[in-house]
Amino acid sequence: MNLDLPPPTVVAEAAALERLLRELEGAREVAVDTEADSFFNFREKVCLVQITAGERDWLVDPLARIDLAPLGRMLSDPRITKVFHDGEYDILILKRDFGFEFRNLFDTRVAAAALGIESPGLAAVLHARFGIELDKSLQRSNWSARPLSQQQISYARLDTHFLLPLMHEQRAELEQRGRAMIVEGECSRLEKLVPTEPTFSPDEFVQGDARYPIVCIRGAGSSSVPRTAMASRSSGAASSSISSESPTPAVRFSCAICATDSRDAFLRPRLTSCSVDSSAYRGSRPRRMSDGRNRLALLES
């Protein structure tokens, strides 16, 4: 697939947003993604909205103080298919920050899982489908910093640029294998998500040795929850080390946010919490899990 792409259009003023919306008037499918600053602020915010339609890419800058309400009307239009990859967090934060509603969603990560793909992350899926190599090194970039670097702009536009052809291939395969209803059901659930505000609790924050990744523990239906937990790496494996404050070891962690490496000094809650088995994610970042994705996993087992 051709990667000699024209530069994306950065939308940082009202007139540019009006031009974007005029371009989208005839579109029947639009790819959407967001970048936020959750690694730099307790209450994260939307710092960028990426949009692709008709092989053109736009980067909408909410920090430029432009009114994004007209964009919300496109997102709620049932005539337009909005394509996300792992869109749960994007949908929640867009709902929370701007009051947007969503209709007619298609999530390419959900589709990949329904098709039995073992590694449904965007980079892995695009490499398997199209032979495209995505550089994910800026995943933890400070997206609230301005001006955006050229590297950030190039990175952000690729998160949506290939989602539409990916959706077309996935839809055909889902129909062929009789699994379209799985994706439709999960995307219907995503449309109905309700965001919540993060609340601070000292029991949800831990600080540990910089040599070790940190795991944030929330109460998983029990008051007997350890205040600290660290996963130590040894020869590529990890083991749990629970503080003596805990009367019983926790097998399943309900984490507010998952550490990606050992440099996090503290952890901030996400919009939603997730329940993951820590042993399944040794040495890597646990994905935000949802009931819907767990259902897909059960269907594959």
Q: Are residues 26 and 109 in the same domain?
A: yes
The answer on 228 and 139 residing in a single domain is: no
Residues 178 and 221 in one domain: no
Residues 208 and 81 in one domain: no
* Both structure tokens of 81: 């298919």
- Same domain assignment for residues 110 and 247: no
Beta-strand pair 237-242/9-11: unpaired
Q: What is the pLDDT of residue 203?
A: 64
106 occurs within a structural domain: yes
pLDDT of residue 204: 59
**CATH number of the domain bearing residue 84:** 3.30.420.10
Give how many domains the chain has, as a whole number: 2
Residue 197 counted as domain residue? no
50: part of which helix (H) or strand (E)?
strand 46-53
Asked whether residue 47 falls in the same domain as residue 148, the answer is: yes
Residue 87 lies in a domain: yes
- 196 lies in a domain? no
DSSP for the chain reads ----PPPPEEE-SHHHHHHHHHHHTT-SEEEEEEEE-TTT-SS--EEEEEEEETTEEEEE-GGG----HHHHHHHT-TTSEEEESS-HHHHHHHHHHH-----SEEEHHHHHHHTT-S--SHHHHHHHHH-PPP--TTTT--TTSSSPPHHHHHHHHHHHHTHHHHHHHHHHHHHHHT-HHHHHHHHHHHHT---------GGG-----TTS-BB--B-SS-S---S-EEEEEETTEEEEEE-TT-SS--SEEEESSB--STT-SS----SS-EEEEGGGGTTSPPPPP-HHHHHHHHHH-
Residue 1, domain member (yes or no): no
The answer to whether residues 20 and 131 belong to one domain is yes
Co-location of 34 and 164 in the same domain: yes
First and final C-alpha spacing in the chain: 33
Instruction: Give the SS3 label for residue 245.
Output: coil
By residue range, what is the domain housing residue 93?
9-191
Residue 266 lies in a domain: yes
Res 202: pLDDT: 66
> Domain for residue 3, yes or no?
no
Residue ending a domain, choose from 131, 165, 191: 191
190-211, pLDDT tens digit by residue?
999 999 877 766 665 554 444 4
pLDDT tens, position by position, for the chain (301 residues)? 557 899 999 999 999 999 999 999 999 999 999 999 988 888 899 999 999 999 999 999 999 999 999 999 999 999 999 999 999 999 999 999 999 999 999 999 999 999 999 999 999 999 999 999 998 889 889 999 999 999 999 999 999 999 999 999 999 999 999 999 999 999 999 999 999 877 766 665 554 444 444 444 433 333 333 333 333 333 333 333 333 343 433 333 333 333 333 233 333 333 333 333 333 333 333 333 344 444 444 444 3
Residues 30 and 109 occupy one common structural domain? yes
pLDDT at 205: 54
Q: What is the DSSP letter of 203?
A: G
Same domain for 76 and 207, yes or no, is no
Which of these three, 191, 212, 233, is where a domain ends? 191
pTM: 0.70
Last residue of a domain, one of 170, 191, 212: 191
Assess whether 92 and 126 both reside in one domain: yes
CA 92/CA 137 separation, integer angstroms: 24
Q: Which two tokens stand for residue 16?
A: 């540019």
**Do residue 80 and residue 183 come from a single domain?**
yes
Residue 4 lies in a domain: no
